[in-house]
Amino acid sequence: MLIRYVLADLLRNPRRTLSTMVGVTLGVGLFCGVLFFVDGLSASMTQRAVAPLAIDMQRIATERTGGSLGLTQSFEPPGRLAAGARARVVLEVTNSGDVDANEVTVRSLPGPGLRFVVGSAEMDGEPVTAIDDSPFAHGPGNTGLNLGSVGPATSHRLSYLVEADTDVELTDAAVATSQSTRESVNPVAANEPSSVSLAELATLVAGVDGVADAAPLSLADLGPDTLSAGGVAAAGPAKIFGFDGDYARRDATIDIVGGELTPDGAVVSAEAADGVGVGVGDRVSILLPDDSTLELPVTGIADLSRSRSLFSSRRGGDLETFIYSRNSVVVSPERFADTVQPAFERAAAARGTRLKSPPIREIDIALDRDLLHADPATAATQTTRIAAEVSAVAAHQDYLLDNISNTLAVASDDARVAKRLFVFLGVPGGFLAAMLAAYSGTVLAEAQRREQATLRIRGASRGHLLRMLAMRTALLTAIGSVVGLAIGYLAAVVILGQESLARASATSLATSAVLGTVGGCLATGIALYLTGRRSIDREINEDRARLSVRPPLWRRAGLDVIGVAVVAIGTLVALATHAFDGVPGSVYFGRAVELNLALLVLPVAVWITGSLLAARLIGNALDRSQPKSSASVGRPLTSLFRLSVGRRPWAIGNGAIVVSLIVALATSLAAFTASYDAAKAEDARYANGADLRITPSPTAPRPYTIDDADVFATDGVAATTPVIYGLSNVILRSDRTSDPANLAAVDPVSYPTVAPLREIRFTTNGAATAFDSLQHDPDAILLSEDMADFLETGPGNTLNVLLARATDQQVEVELHIAGVYQRLPGFPDGADALMAIDRHDAEVPTKAPDFFLGAAAAPDDASLDRAVASLRAGPGAADDLQIDTRTSTLAKDQSSLAALNISGLVDLDSAFSLSMAVVTIAIFVFGLLLSRRREYITLRAQGLESRTIRLLITAEAGTVALGGVIFGVLVGSAMGFYFVKVLRPLFVLTPTYTLPIGGLAAPVLLVLAATLVSSLAASRLVSRLEPTELLRDE
Amino acid sequence: MTIIVEDVIVDHRTENGIVRALECETLRVSSATSLAIMGPSGCGKSTLLGLLAGLALPTRGRVTIDDVVVSERSERDRVRFRRQALGMVYQADNLLPHLTVEENVGLQLAICDLSPIDNPVLDPAVVLRRLGLEHLARRFPDQLSGGQRQRVAVARAIVHRPTVILADEPTGALDADTAAVVIELLVEVQREIGATLVVVTHDPDIAGRVDETMQLARPTITAALSHAH
């Protein structure tokens, strides 16, 4: 019976039902939307995280430059050794290579249950007597026996006796024996299988499940003047690579612009070809470390300047550094193995010391990324398994650099942070939804008050009414939740795209659906039920007492004051403990973003407290503005308005709280997004050096000089500047010491206008003064803090700089230090010193700029795109230009920042917030209408124009909207400021707080427009009300 | 003002079809006289009063007040008519809850754009004193008894000295003594200002205090009209 009544009530009052349900729908929609968003995002994090990775895994062959040394171990007699019995351990060391193995050390340590028999050690049949204990594990460090050099095709037989304390099975595990050499310091256990060749290893690794491709690569550094042709040597050091055509085809950044890679020829880098004046068909000479010369025909010219797989650093902890060598030559893997590698081995053997830079031989492994799980944590488990299997193939002869697992490990940490962050950012929306539900519940209760009174008169008990309320709430929340679930899914699809969500697992989506629906349902349902219950419990006779100007509960409890205290104390504690300072995440450093989520309480506290304070101010101001009672009323509209808002200030105040909360959330999200985007763009711009970085291709037909910056000043490019820069391109010498360094030479006038400089990056005098010195003093040089510390020098001191180091143009100049900086934009590898480009050009006139930096005409992305298009159409049409922009740099960002897609979440939150703002205003206006329709009808009957009534409704709703909007923007600005402070670790540079005034226009106008439209709609309803019936009803 | 109702019919559309709410062949109330409309529940008394006030329009027929066919005027004209010529009292007091007694009364003058400065008889204080409410002038409606509130409603209805006073069960929610006081006041004031008074009531005592009484019958056709129109 009750359920039928409730159903009929809901169906026959569709407007009321819908307005109540919309709060539930939006709440559940937001909860589900955020969760689906997180699912979709997590599902794309793996792909995003690994996309910039050049090489998934690298099997680096250990240094075997000393030759192929083998060690076998056997026991005489073999098998089980009884307690008290003795056996001889026989070790055979053999050099099967063709060069000496030096400092060959054999270490053998009997395990538990076995003891070395003193005096039993022999070498090639002779006792080893010089050492009292075991010569194979001597002293506290268990030092092995140094055999000295072992020549090619030479072997040594070593042996010693062991005695068993207990029964022991004689296996390799019972006696740990290994060998190492000067050339290969990593100990190799006895009886290890003989090492396989690089090609064999690649084939074996390629067969591992999950590996898409494995290709061998060898590379080695050659000294200066080692690459020549016809007696002309390429200036500077050279690099030699060994890889085949398949490897080149797999890596799109290896661009063979002429000819091809053949087994017997060499491909030369474009710069080297220019330097020595060769083309395809000519011959080049490569001077190898053992002073032998490799002469090869040039079969191809290549642009290798963008190849990250070839030039990324192989040093641990420095893997992101791109160390380019202009003078590069590529030979076939066979040629490298047959000729280059032995030359290095011979050099190592002949010089008697370890080579500073031995050749690196590796297998570059690409995984089948399509098989990787969308969730980075799961994908990391997969890649770790693959890494283990790859390592198990021909183990112990090399080590594995597992780049992809490292990246995914960081990404999975970031994903966890992102989920927490997203849920946090979604929580205010959820809170709003509950408030909205409570607010609409209040209006519903208001509308049903009369019906409930009638039911009571007819005998309905409180229990009946509560059961009906529970049924009504359950029905509204159930239907609202289903609709909200669909809306949430659609919202996530709109923002992320169907493809992203399709990648998420069904379990994950189902879990989100259940969590979102149940969570949203509970939050809004409870809010709805509690407001209805309070209404039922209120005595009917209290209706008129509602006129009382008694402040609401939160005001009487002083919640706003408590909130102020929380914010103040929290801020002070955070400042005192430097909690706002964060460490940015970095994939390269294996460090995920770390957010102090406890701090996130602060923006929420600012949000709620600010809105309550706003309501207090509005309520108090209206209360004070109410006119004293007078029979002389004045103009009806203004008088009625002043009397209404003055005598019912908290109705306005409470409405303003909801609007303020919504507008504040939208404002803070807009401010956060603007600050985030600006900071990210600034980070990327800083990394790129400017909006644009134009690097002419080494194969470009036109040589560029420092006076050619204007060539790139095309439409949309405001300014350009040339830059000379290189790794270890100078030697800096102070009075105390010297060191190779990376020098940048820039134009001190145009560089500061193009590059993003911040005063804080200069520790002495500031950027303006420093560049002024460079401009006016040709002997001035700026030094990085680190380099100044290393050289033990500082401003005012002289510094000798060997320019164009290791080239035939090298020249030493004496400069003096004019300033010290922390770091400069545009040099990810670090610029140790900075000098004026004119002075550099005067000293080394043949040195061309390495790249040009450019500033776009306007800071927006469209201007940047226009600038790139004009560059491509202009100078880019004639020459192959590499154009990096701040956006392309941002896209390459491998850190978690790129994967977070905060903008998407903010869009989701904002869309729901704005929907809620519109609904709130509508509910307020129609709530006003419901509760005051008798007043309006009475006024109509008294002869008040409909227009005046419409204006009255609009004025009241407008007061709520305007008050809410004004305070919402203020509160949101403060909330956004706290958001940016708390989320500081998401940025590399300290973000500048940005409040997008223009961007706020949309939500503000939307709220005001919703007010106007709702008021007009409500006025029309007033006109359509049946006055005769309403006026006679008691 | 003379009130004339001719061949008026009011039909309401409902989910179940059209329901006739009122059927009044003729009604005439002379200027400055008073009329009580009586009749069974559902005969359309309040509907008729709504037509007289211009708050609703008949489905058919004419309502003329002082040569002006109210039922054919625009909403704007009818609002102006109510403002200038009409005072209304209802069973519910319908006072604005956030206005004090004097403000509720004064508001009617403000709506009519009248000022006691120009015409002292329009002074709300005078009216309140006349109705014995001067000591309650600064109270809010919820601080008054039912009878007091209804007297304030009467004060509001007459303060601008309307030519027509319409009262719909003005004493329906009051006890007999209070009802007597209120109706006495209403009639006295009506005579005092020379207005035409139409009172809808079930109470024969009230009917006995006015000049004329009219019995309104239930409409002859009700639900049978469905879909016929």
Cβ-based neighbours of A482, under 8 Å, separated by 6 or more: A517
Residue B226's pLDDT is 36
ipTM of the complex: 0.89
Residue range A404-412: mean pLDDT, rounded: 84
Q: Give pLDDT tens digits for A263-282.
A: 889 999 988 888 888 889 99
Q: Min CA distance, B88 vs chain A (Å)?
A: 8
With cut-offs at 50, 70 and 90, classify the pLDDT of residue A194: low
Q: What angle do CA A258, A262, A263 make, to 5 degrees?
A: 160
**A233 has pLDDT over 90:** no
- Rounded mean pLDDT of A197-222? 88
Q: Does the beta carbon of A939 lie under 8 angstroms from any beta carbon of chain B? A: yes
pLDDT for the residue numbered B223: 39
Contact A636 B110 (CB under 8 A): yes
Residue predicted with more confidence, A808 or A275: A275
pLDDT score recorded for residue A355: 59
Which candidate from A630, A938, A1026 shows the least CB-CB separation from B94? A938
Q: How far apart are CA A687 and CA A682, in angstroms?
A: 8
Q: Is the previous residue joined to A701 through a cis bond, with omega within 30 degrees of 0?
A: no
pLDDT surpassing 70 at residue A549: no
| Distance between CA atoms of residues A75 and A80, nearest Å | 10
Would the CB atoms of A629 and B100 count as touching at under 8 Å? yes
Q: Is pLDDT at A893 greater than 70 in this prediction?
A: no
Residue A1027 forms contact with B (CB below 8 Å): yes
Phi and psi angles of residue A545, each rounded to the nearest 5 degrees, phi first = -65, -10
Instruction: Please state, rounded to an integer, the average pLDDT across all residues of chain A.
Output: 83
Which chain B residues are closer than 8 Å to A635 by Cβ? 110
For residue A836, name the pLDDT band (cuts at 50, 70, 90): very high
pLDDT in tens, A635-675: 889 989 988 888 888 888 888 888 888 889 888 888 888 88
pLDDT reported for residue B225: 38
Q: In A, which residues are within 8 Å of B102 by CB distance? A: 629-631
Chain A positions in Cβ-Cβ contact with residue B141 (cut-off 8 Å) = 544
Residue A656 near residue A960 (C-beta atoms within 8 A):
yes
Mutation for testing the A interface, residue in B10, B77, B104, B111 having most A CBs under 10 Å: B111
Contact between chains at B98 and A544 (C-beta distance less than 8 A): no
pLDDT 10s per residue in chain B (229 long)? 788 999 889 988 877 788 888 888 888 888 889 999 988 888 888 889 889 988 888 999 999 988 889 888 888 888 888 888 899 998 888 899 889 999 999 999 999 888 877 777 778 888 888 888 889 999 999 889 888 998 899 899 988 889 999 998 888 777 888 788 888 888 888 888 889 999 998 888 888 888 889 888 887 654 333 333 3
Enter the DSSP assignment of A829. Answer: T
Across the interface, which of A634, A647, A1027 has its CB nearest the CB of B110? A634
pLDDT of amino acid A901: 65
> How far away is chain B from the Cα of A954, in angstroms, using its nearest Cα?
18
pLDDT of residue A1022: 80
Question: What's the pLDDT at B196?
Answer: 92
Nearest Cβ partner for A1027 among B55, B137, B141: B55
Residue A14 contacts B where some CB pair is shorter than 8 Å: no
Reported confidence tier of residue A894, pLDDT bands at 50, 70, 90: very low
pTM over 0.95: no
Q: Compute the nearest-CA separation of B103 from chain A (Å).
A: 5
What does A594-663 look like in DSSP terms, one character per residue?
---GGGGHHHHHHHHHHHHHHHHHHHHHHHHHPPPP-S---SHHHHHHHHHHHHSHHHHHHHHHHHHHHH
pLDDT at A781: 93
Categorize the per-residue pLDDT at A458 as very low, low, confident or very high, splitting at 50, 70 and 90.
confident
Are B102 and A1032 in contact (CB < 8 Å)?
A: no
CB-CB neighbors (< 8 A) of A1026 in chain B: 56
Whether residue A329 has pLDDT greater than 90: yes
pLDDT at A321: 62
Contact residues, chain B, for A946 at CB < 8 Å: 75, 79
Residue numbers of A between 612 and 631 with CB closer than 8 Å to B? 629-631
Q: Is the pLDDT of residue A289 over 80?
A: yes
Task: Confirm or reject contact between A944 and chain B (CB < 8 A).
Answer: yes
Pick the more confident residue, A397 or A454.
Answer: A454
Residue to substitute from B16, B45, B70, B79, interface A, most A β-carbons within 10 A: B79
pLDDT at A318 over 60: no
Tokens of A75: 């026991």
Give me the residue from B92, B116, B123 closest to A1032, CB to CB.
B92
φ/ψ (deg, to 5) at B69: -80, 95
Helix (H) or strand (E) holding A71, with range, is strand A69-76
Element (H, E) at A98: none
Q: Which residues of A touch B138 (CB under 8 A)?
A: 629
A495 pLDDT above the threshold of 90: no
Contact call for B111 and A639, based on CB within 8 A: no
Distance CA(A424)–CA(A418), nearest Å, equals 10
- pLDDT surpassing 80 at residue A709: yes
The pLDDT score that the predictor gives to residue A758 is 63
**Cβ-based contacts of B96 with chain A (< 8 Å):** 935, 938-939
Long-range residue pairs from A281-287, CB within 8 A, at least 24 positions apart, any chain: A282/A229, A283/A229, A284/A227, A284/A228, A284/A229, A284/A329, A285/A227, A285/A228, A285/A229, A286/A222, A286/A226, A286/A227, A286/A238, A286/A240, A286/A329, A287/A222, A287/A223, A287/A225, A287/A226, A287/A227, A287/A228
Cβ contacts of A1029 on chain B, cutoff 8 Å: 46
Show residues of chain B in contact with A630, CB under 8 Å: 102-103, 106
Q: What confidence tier does A316 reach under pLDDT thresholds 50, 70, 90? A: low
Q: Give residue-wise pLDDT tens across range A72-97.
A: 999 999 889 999 999 999 999 998 87
Helix (H) or strand (E) holding A885: strand A881-885
pLDDT of amino acid A540: 46
pLDDT of residue A164: 92
Asked if A944's CB is within 8 angstroms of B111's CB, the reply is yes
Give the pLDDT score at A896: 45
Q: Which of B50, B96, B125 sits opposite A631 (nearest CB)?
A: B125
Mutate to test the interface with B, among A543, A625, A1028 (most CBs of B within 10 A): A1028
- How much is the pLDDT for B227? 38
- Confidence label for A545 from pLDDT (cuts 50, 70 and 90): very low
* pLDDT tens profile A17-61: 887 888 788 878 888 888 888 788 777 778 777 877 878 898 887
Contacting residues of B for A634, CB less than 8 Å apart: 110
Residue B25 is predicted with a pLDDT of 84
More confident residue, B90 or A321: B90
Q: Is the pLDDT of residue A541 over 50?
A: no
Q: Which residues 6+ apart lie within 8 Å of B134 measured at CB? A: B125, B128
Task: Number of A to B CB contacts under 8 A, please give it.
Answer: 112
Question: Parallel, antiparallel, or unpaired for β A122-123 and A154-164?
Answer: antiparallel
Which of the residue ranges A234-243, A297-306, A593-602, A773-782 would you say has the lowest mean pLDDT?
A593-602
Of A376, A993, A400, A1009, whose CA–CA distance to A678 is shortest?
A993
Question: What is the length of chain A?
Answer: 1034
What local confidence, expressed as pLDDT, does residue A75 receive? 93
